[in-house]
Structure 1
Amino acid sequence: MTTSASVRAYRPGDRAALDDICVRTAHNGQDSRPVYADPGILPAIFAAPYVHLEPELAFVLDDGHGRAVGYIIGAADTPAFAAAFRTEWLPLVADRYPAPTRPPVTPDEVMLGLLHDPERMVVPEVAAYPAHLHIDLLPEWQGRGHGRALMRTLLRALRDRGVPAIHLCMATANVKARAFYDRMGFHEIDVPDAGPVAYLGRTTADADLL
């Protein structure tokens, strides 16, 4: 199964697969469907806006039969992406996911708050790492070197565009993901009062060494 898998550029026909991968990995690396009443809000925040706004920085792991079983997506300039998220993406999904009217009580309401606050992505402490990313693979495709291949592909694309460094934000509870990022050369960035998340960053210059 693994010999024919390869990394390729995202295609519009991959959109449903990316949404599904996101839902099945979004709860600290686990399936989010038991946690959320409408898990579709997760790709509306963490996957779909990236392929809508910056499809040239979206890559998938193809299982060899045309099906995406993993992906890496990125934004080259986080403040610019946050601005485009508000003006171009949010109007497309706000009818289905309206802005919250009370402090969040349920997991879905927490996600509504994130959806309607794209400016949260702009963190001064990570300004030296202007790009950011999300990477997810279905569980059966993890641990086989495919994540490394996806990471290498995105870092090369950013380096070739002159983007010097990249960051990501992850739930500290996802210890498996943290171990992966450590192997990929990411280091923790000190962000005071970050809560249950950690910010990690690395250069793009040595992408070929992954």
Structure 2
Amino acid sequence: MSIEIRPFQPFDLPGMYRVCLRTGDSGGDATALYHDPDLLGHVFAGPYPAADPGLTFVAADAFGVLGYVVATADSAAYEKWREHHWYAPLRLRHPEAMADDPGDGSRDWQLVAQLHRKPLAEGDPLYESHPAHLHIDILPRGQGAGLGRRLMSALLEALRARGVRGLHLGVGGGNPGARAFYQALGFTEARRHDWGSVMVLDLRDGAARRSST
């Protein structure tokens, strides 16, 4: 069965939300972890094509969306946009009182807390050298077919066409396969945290360019 990599279209959004949920537990299915099945998508998928649809690409087959990559070319500007145009109305649906752990093993409260967390006043210094960032998710039925590399190639080409100098992303410590994937594309670790690490890619580096093709 053929799998198409193409630019985002508005009708892709429901499928992207399903992919986000089914890969939301360090690559595994997070359906049982959220009372609101859309909440992960609201945080990690939906705002990106709303802010800049030209940096979202999807992988689709006859059964629908099975993977995507979303990104922003300017993380600082994106966070300001998200704060006013995306998070502000979401907070009305998810008030801060919902950020308390109910003790039932669900994780909605963690994302609600993120919705209400104010952005850094000065931003992140990493945004100067590597201003773009991304999220990529692929369902199990699409893994092992080279879709991750194809999606990344489409995104990197779009970022370089805009003259973006660098890219960063977060990799959870419980997802070593993702870390190995990014290393194969030329990413290196910039920071380590208790939850995982931040990896970066210099988009002006010819070696990194060759590794994405």
The residue type paired with residue 142 of structure 2 is W
Secondary structure at the residue paired with 2:78?
A: helix
Give, in angstroms, the shift of residue 67 of structure 1.
2.2
Question: Where does 1:163-178 land on structure 2 (aligned, <5 Å)?
Answer: 163-178=164-179
2:56–2:68: 8 Å Cα contact kept in structure 1?
yes
1:203 and 2:199 aligned = no
1:100–1:113: 8 Å Cα contact kept in structure 2?
no
1:156–1:208: 8 Å Cα contact kept in structure 2?
no
Flag the 1:43–1:115 CA change in 2: closer, same or farther, 3 A: same
Question: Where does 1:148-159 land on structure 2 (aligned, <5 Å)?
Answer: 148-159=149-160
Give, in angstroms, the shift of residue 160 of structure 1.
0.5
Structure 2 match to 1:110? 110
> Deviation string for 1:136-180 (max 9, x for gaps)?
011110111110000011011001101011000121111121121
Task: List runs of 5+ in structure 1 lacking aligned partners.
Answer: none
Structure 2 match to 1:99? 96
Structure 2 match to 1:16? 14
Flag the 1:57–1:66 CA change in 2: closer, same or farther, 3 A: farther
Runs of 4+ in 1 over 6 A off after TM superposition: none
Distance 2:146 2:84 in 1: 37
Give, in angstroms, the shift of residue 123 of structure 1.
3.1
The residue type paired with residue 119 of structure 2 is E
> Deviation string for 1:108-136 (max 9, x for gaps)?
1111111223626x433453110000000
TM norm structure 1: 0.89
Structure 2 match to 1:80? 77
2:20–2:41: 8 Å Cα contact kept in structure 1?
yes
Distance 1:116 1:159 in 2: 33
Moved more, 200-209 or 135-144: 200-209
2:184–2:211: 8 Å Cα contact kept in structure 1?
no
Give, in angstroms, the shift of residue 42 of structure 1.
0.5
Question: Where does 1:18-37 land on structure 2 (aligned, <5 Å)?
Answer: 18-37=16-35
Flag the 1:22–1:97 CA change in 2: closer, same or farther, 3 A: same
Task: List runs of 5+ in structure 2 lacking aligned partners.
Answer: none
Flag the 1:100–1:164 CA change in 2: closer, same or farther, 3 A: farther
Alignment partner of 1:46 out of 44, 56, 66: 44
Moved more, 92-101 or 153-162: 92-101
Give, in angstroms, the shift of residue 66 of structure 1.
7.6
Give, in angstroms, the shift of residue 184 of structure 1.
1.5
Secondary structure at the residue paired with 1:94?
A: helix
1:22–1:47: 8 Å Cα contact kept in structure 2?
yes
Distance 1:135 1:44 in 2: 15
